[in-house]
């Protein structure tokens, strides 16, 4: 069928697989976190003083719905949200000690599950796929 040669269909299938593997492995590790929550935690950790709009932009998430993600992270006690001293309309985000510790628990699990997301690829193919995916999404490689 033609659909199996369409990028959109294959990307959707990869997303389903990725989300499933993430949910399975984090649950097995006793962690209650979604891929978007993990991405938000990472953005907050990497960018001290970031606000909600900045997190949304950094993780390519909808600005209208990032508030719910941030609310859940705050309810878990993983982040704080305070009024920005530069812009009273903005909320500055920071990891709590609990959030930093949780990030430290989640990161190795997420690193370990990466090969399961692209199980049919060799290491070289996986590297090429990631380079092409970064290029297609206009993302710079991170070290």
Domain ranges of the chain: 7-133
Question: Does the pLDDT value for residue 76 go beyond 60?
Answer: yes
Q: What is the pLDDT of residue 39?
A: 97
CATH fold for domain 7-133: Arc Repressor Mutant, subunit A (1.10.10)
Across the chain, mean pLDDT equals: 92
- 8 Å CB contact between 100 and 45: yes
pLDDT tens digits along 131-140: 999 999 886 6
Separation CA 24–CA 1 (nearest Å): 30
Contacts of 44 (CB under 8 A, 6+ apart): 50, 55, 79, 93, 94, 95, 99
Q: What is the pLDDT of residue 102?
A: 97
What is the model's pTM?
Answer: 0.89
């Amino acid at each position: 069928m033609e659909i199996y040669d369409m990028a959109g269909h294959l990307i959707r299938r990869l997303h389903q697989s990725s989300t499933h593997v993430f949910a399975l492995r984090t649950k097995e590790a006793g962690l209650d976190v979604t891929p978007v929550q993990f991405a938000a935690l990472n953005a907050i950790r990497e960018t001290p003083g970031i606000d909600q709009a900045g997190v949304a932009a950094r993780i390519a998430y909808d600005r209208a719905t990032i508030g719910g993600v941030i609310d859940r992270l705050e309810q878990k006690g993983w982040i704080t949200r305070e009024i920005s001293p530069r812009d009273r309309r903005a909320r500055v985000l920071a990891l709590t000690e609990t959030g930093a510790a949780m990030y430290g628990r989640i990161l190795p699990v997420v690193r370990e599950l990466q090969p399961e997301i692209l199980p049919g690829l060799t290491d070289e193919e996986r590297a090429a796929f990631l380079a092409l995916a970064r290029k297609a999404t206009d993302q710079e490689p991170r070290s």
